[in-house]
Chains A and B, each alone.
Chain A
Amino acid sequence: MRAPHISGFAFAGALLLGAGCGKKDDAADVIPPPPAATVAFRVTSVDLGKSITADKMIANSTDDFAPGDTVYVSVATEGSSPGAAIKARFTFQDGQLVDESTQTVAPTGPARTEFHIVKPSGWPEGKYKVEITVDGALAGSKDFEVKRG
């Protein structure tokens, strides 16, 4: 006779506890907003072309250029940074440095940064590479070629 008595008591206790838990859940119905998402600053794409739009996007993507062309590289980024140094380093096929430029940006969201190079006397034919680094770390690269039309 003792066992059923204990079981009944335990059952009543469980009901009380359950009711208490239900009450607690009701009070927690208001879900706190998630912490603001912070997107780490990073390069999402590197594009090459002969011209850019006003918002720094490549108008006509290509990796084939003529000696008289201006070479544009558009670097798309996302995330925010108080100051990120984006560098474009252009090299010729023999490893010779053609040009390097750095743009320091402080974006708060998606952004585009463009670099361009031009050679008034005409680009020598051959293969070139542009490497994009952010604060010294390689973030992307593109190969392109200069050929006579």
Chain B
Amino acid sequence: MAADKKVPDFSDVRSGSSSTAPGSTPAPTSRRTYTVVAGDSLSKIAKRSFGDPNRWRAIFELNKDIIKNPDLIYPGQVLTLPDA
């Protein structure tokens, strides 16, 4: 378990992009992601990422392709996080 705590958490990373190219569009596909570590639950991730554990459902809805049961997530899964 101690080794699990050493897995870095990049869930609070903020990113952006821009270009000098004409006709460019703001990054529409930029998404924050979170990699599940041991002991995580959707509500824990929601609380850590948004300060609101109730937003677990938004995370679940966005990741239904890889999460079949919201009570079962696995270390190493890369979840897409909704906009803050």
B19 interface residue (CB < 8 Å to A): yes
Q: Give complex CA distance A129, B78 in Å.
A: 18
Interface string of A72-112 (1 = CB under 8 A from B): 00000100000101101000101011111111111110011
A140 interface residue (CB < 8 Å to B): no
Given A97-B78, A98-B10, A116-B16, 9 other A-B residues pairs in contact with their CB atoms under 8 A: A56-B20, A96-B7, A97-B33, A101-B17, A104-B27, A113-B18, A113-B19, A118-B14, A120-B12
Q: Which residue of B lies closest to A121 (CB)?
A: B12
List chain B residues, Cβ under 8 A from A111.
19-21
Q: Are B35 and A97 in contact (CB under 8 A)?
A: yes
Q: List 23 A-B contacts (CB under 8 A).
A: A94-B7, A96-B35, A97-B33, A99-B10, A99-B15, A101-B16, A101-B27, A103-B17, A104-B24, A104-B27, A105-B19, A105-B25, A106-B23, A107-B22, A107-B24, A108-B22, A111-B19, A113-B21, A115-B17, A116-B15, A118-B13, A118-B14, A121-B12
List chain A residues, Cβ under 8 A from B69.
none
* Chain B residues with a Cβ under 8 A of chain A: 7-8, 10, 12-33, 35, 78
Range of interface residues on chain A?
35 or more
Q: Which residue of B lies closest to A73 (CB)?
A: B17
Q: Give complex CA distance A120, B30 in Å.
A: 18
List chain B residues, Cβ under 8 A from A88.
17
A47 interface residue (CB < 8 Å to B): no
| Top 10 closest pairs, chain A to chain B, by CB | A106-B23, A107-B21, A111-B21, A105-B21, A113-B19, A101-B30, A124-B8, A105-B24, A102-B29, A103-B17
Q: Are A56 and B19 in contact (CB under 8 A)?
A: yes
List chain A residues, Cβ under 8 A from B31.
100
* Chain A residues with a Cβ under 8 A of chain B: 55-56, 77, 83, 85-86, 88, 92, 94, 96-108, 111-121, 124, 126
List chain B residues, Cβ under 8 A from A103.
17-19, 24-27
Q: Which residue of B lies closest to A52 (CB)?
A: B18
Given A92-B10, A96-B35, A103-B27, verify A115-B20 contact (CB < 8 Å).
no
